[in-house]
Structure formats: structure tokens, C-alpha cells
Amino acid sequence: MTDHFEVFGLPRRLAIDVDELQRRFYALSRQWHPDYYAGAPPEVQARALEQSARVNAAYRTLRDPIARIEYLVQLEEGRTTREGATVRPEAPPELLEEMFEIQEALAEARAGGLDEATRRALEAQRDRLRARLAEEEARLTGPLAAAWDAADAAARPALLEAFKRGLATRAYLRTAIEDLERALGAEEGTADHVAHRRH
């Protein structure tokens, strides 16, 4: 089965010329667009539809640097890659205690409501985690991606592990940020609802 890189005739590298990827995407989209095969036999129509879907899925994955890394890790490990499928990453040990503390703070906020001091503390925590998320994504798509493209076969297993740790860290940071935003947003939504009811 053709992988996403092969769909566009690209080597299995993380550095991609996004403009060239887009040009190839448009060319293949025109080539396989189902409308061009409306009068063709059913098996030809089915093939065009399948190819069109494959081109679209490959483009969605490869145009995003993080999705490209996740996909490459799956390919290198020989895992099947269904679009939308996720493998739950293991919690990075260095984040476990911090995530536990955040969950405790969120539980207390839900139980007792958000006073101004608690809101400020949760917002500061969220902003700090957002900064860490940006740093982790920059590390994944910058130095680690460059190292992968320059590495020989012997160095790649260690880089795959580094990618997996980074992706797991990113997943846990995103979850914690979403939990914090939900808690802060829910409180704002309640306040807005009360304010609207007063008028």
C-alpha cells in the first residue's frame, strides 16, 4: 500500500517544501477528481474516488508538521495508519505530578467555584502550559526533525524514541490546557448567563 509520502513522490523526510506539496496536491486532485470520471465504468469511478480520498488524506497529514511527525513515527514502527486513529501515549513521568496537581486544582475549582484568586492562578497555569506546548512543538519540528533528516539508520531508533516522548508530552500538555480552558470558560459562561438573565 502506498504511504502518504509516496502519494506525492516525496522521500520519507520531515523537511517538506509546502508550496511544492500544494502544487502536487492540486495536480493530483485534478487528475483524480471524481467528476472527471462520471461517465466511466463503475470500477474506474471507484478507483478515482479511492485515489482522490487517498490524495486528500495524504495532503491533510503532510501539510501539518506535527501530523507529519506522528505519521512518520507510525510508518517507522510499522503500525497501520488509519486517519483519525489515535494511540494513547504513555504519560511522561516528569509531567505526572504536575498533571495530578492541575487535576486537583480543577476539582477544587469545580467544587467551590472560581473566586478571583483561583481564576488568576488557573489562568497563569494555562498560560505557562501554553508556552511549554509551543516550546515542545518547536523542538519537535525544529531540531529533532532536522536531526531525523540528517540521521543514518543507526541513529534513527533513538530519534524515534525522542519523537514519541515529545509527542506524548505534547498530548498531555494539550489535555491539561483544554481542561483548564473548559473550567475557565464554563465559569465565564455561567457568569454571562446570569448577567443576561438580569437584563
Task: For 146-180, write each residue's pLDDT tens digit.
Answer: 999 999 999 999 999 999 999 999 999 999 999 99
With a cut of 80, say whether residue 82 has pLDDT above it: no
Question: Is residue 85 in some structural domain?
Answer: no
Domain interval for residue 46 = 4-63
pLDDT over threshold 70, residue 199: no
Residue 189 banded pLDDT, cuts 50, 70, 90: very low
Q: Are residues 102 and 170 in the same domain?
A: yes
In a domain? residue 45 = yes
Residue 69 lies in a domain: no
Within a domain: residue 175? yes
Residue 159 counted as domain residue: yes
67, burial (CB in 10 Å: exposed 0-12, middle 13-18, buried 19+)? middle
Say which CATH number the domain at 10 has: 1.10.287.110
Of 43, 63, 83, the domain-final residue? 63
Average pLDDT over residues 125-146: 96
Quick one: pLDDT at residue 194?
Answer: 33
Burial of 113 per CB tally in 10 Å (0-12, 13-18, 19+): exposed
- The total domain count for the chain is 2
Give 115's pLDDT tier (boundaries 50, 70, 90): confident
CB 73 within 8 A of CB 86: no
Q: Are residues 56 and 99 part of one domain?
A: no
Mark whether 23 and 101 lie in a shared domain: no
* C-alpha cell recorded at residue 95: 509531567
| Residues 166, 106 share a domain | yes
pTM of the model: 0.80
User: How high does pLDDT run on average in the chain?
Assistant: 86
108 and 166: one domain?
yes
DSSP state letter for 35: G
Band (pLDDT 50/70/90 cuts) for residue 186 is low
Q: Span 72-89, mean pLDDT? A: 67
> What is the Cα–Cα distance from 147 to 139, expressed in whole angstroms?
11
Residue of 132, 128, 130, 120 whose CA lies nearest to 184: 120
Q: What percent of the chain has pLDDT over 70?
A: 86
